[in-house]
Amino acid sequence: MPPTYQVLAVEDDLDAMMLMRLELQTLPLDIHHASDGSQAKKYLDRETPDLLLLDLNLPDMRGWDLLEHFKNDARLRNVRVIVLTSHAEPVNRLIGMLQPISAYLRKPVQAGRLREHVRDALRLP
């Protein structure tokens, strides 16, 4: 039986979260949800996911600030990150290039593309 990977999806839009779950339902994932940065930090204080799906525009902080939390915790440094954002500004893409992330995807994400990037990030066949 293949391993089940732990994923934390940090997304404040419940419709977007539902679409993510549908898109990824065929993969061996256990998806946990945090609707803001504070919930995500609480989860990350006690768990180490294999992958973080991170929205940049959260109600209580920027996704980049949550990513800084990663850099300061040796336990989380190897967690793979896929950024999902509706931000079109080039500065966000530039910031993304300077961060330890696996992918930077613009919302709405084309069907199959998120699944493809999750497979790549987790090295799934």
**Residue-wise pLDDT tens digits, 48-61:** 999 999 999 999 99
When the pLDDT of each residue in the chain is averaged and rounded to a whole number, the result is 90
What pLDDT does 98 receive?
Answer: 61
Q: What is the pLDDT of residue 101?
A: 85
DSSP string, 47-116: ---SEEEEESB-SSSBHHHHHHHHHT-GGGTT-EEEEEE----HHHHHHHHTS--SEEEESSPPTTHHHH
pTM: 0.91
For 43-98, the pLDDT digits (tens) are 999 999 999 999 999 999 999 899 888 778 899 989 999 999 887 666 666 666 66
Fold of 5-110: Rossmann fold (3.40.50)
